[in-house]
């Protein structure tokens, strides 16, 4: 009495049960090392920038191919920044220090509107340099808190020679400073101190 003989079916069921228990334990350990991080915030509050920083710091950063894909974004951000500054000059009642720069600004708007998206022609660069050097443009830039302007405006406009070079490939810093409107949900994975962030 007290002794029982297991059948083959019971042994198989017990083995399956133990395997399921092991799998559940392993899944639990994996889930414990996975952290889900949700970034919420208003538009242009830095959510995408944080994600880019995590990729640069905790992964291997952007590959040269990925950086190359950001070149049109760098160009577009640079052009749009100068457009925003010049438009704000009218709103803030700031004149060009050199009256001839008004004609250059009109030429710039013409070239900028007809340029291919993400293209920076030598003519456009020349006009942009002349405008960026104007004291009136610099005054308007100094008052950028009074209108909407990308944080990276001065960074790119001060680097016109570098970014307009035909061999230009955006650096990690250039990529970090790009501004692209994010729509929808973006998921990025990175490791930090043995934890898998998602």
Binding site listing for Mg(2+): 48, 182
The C-alpha atoms of residue 142 and residue 94 are separated, in whole angstroms, by 12
The annotation places the binding site for GTP at 44-49, 151-152, 176-182
Query: Quick check: helix, strand or coil at residue 41?
Result: coil
**DSSP notation for 152-191:** THHHHHTTHHHHTSTT----HHHHHT------S-----EE
Measuring CA to CA, which residue among 166, 167, 83, 175 is closest to residue 132? 83
The C-alpha atoms of residue 54 and residue 49 are separated, in whole angstroms, by 9
The annotation places the binding site at 44-49, 151-152, 176-182
> Please, are residues 107 and 60 in contact by the beta-carbon 8 Å criterion?
no
The C-alpha atoms of residue 156 and residue 140 are separated, in whole angstroms, by 16
């Amino acid at each position: 009495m007290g002794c029982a003989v297991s059948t083959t079916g019971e042994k198989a069921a017990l083995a399956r049960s133990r395997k399921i228990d092991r799998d559940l334990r392993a899944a639990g350990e994996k889930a414990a090392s996975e952290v889900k991080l949700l970034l919420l915030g208003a538009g242009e509050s830095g959510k995408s920038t944080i994600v880019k920083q995590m990729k640069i710091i905790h992964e291997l950063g952007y590959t040269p191919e990925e950086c190359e894909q950001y070149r049109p974004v760098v160009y577009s951000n640079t052009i749009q920044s100068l457009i925003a500054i010049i438009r704000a000059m009218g709103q803030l009642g700031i004149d060009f220090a050199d009256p001839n720069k008004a004609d250059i600004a009109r030429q710039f708007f013409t070239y900028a509107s007809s340029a291919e998206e993400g293209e920076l022609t030598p003519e456009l660069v020349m006009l942009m340099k002349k405008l960026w050097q104007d004291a009136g443009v610099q005054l308007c830039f100094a008052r950028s808190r009074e209108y909407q302007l990308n944080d990276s405006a001065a960074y790119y406009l001060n680097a016109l020679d570098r970014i307009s070079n035909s061999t230009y490939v955006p650096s990690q810093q250039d990529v970090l400073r790009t501004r692209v409107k994010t729509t929808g949900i973006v998921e990025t994975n990175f490791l930090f101190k043995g934890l898998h962030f998602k």
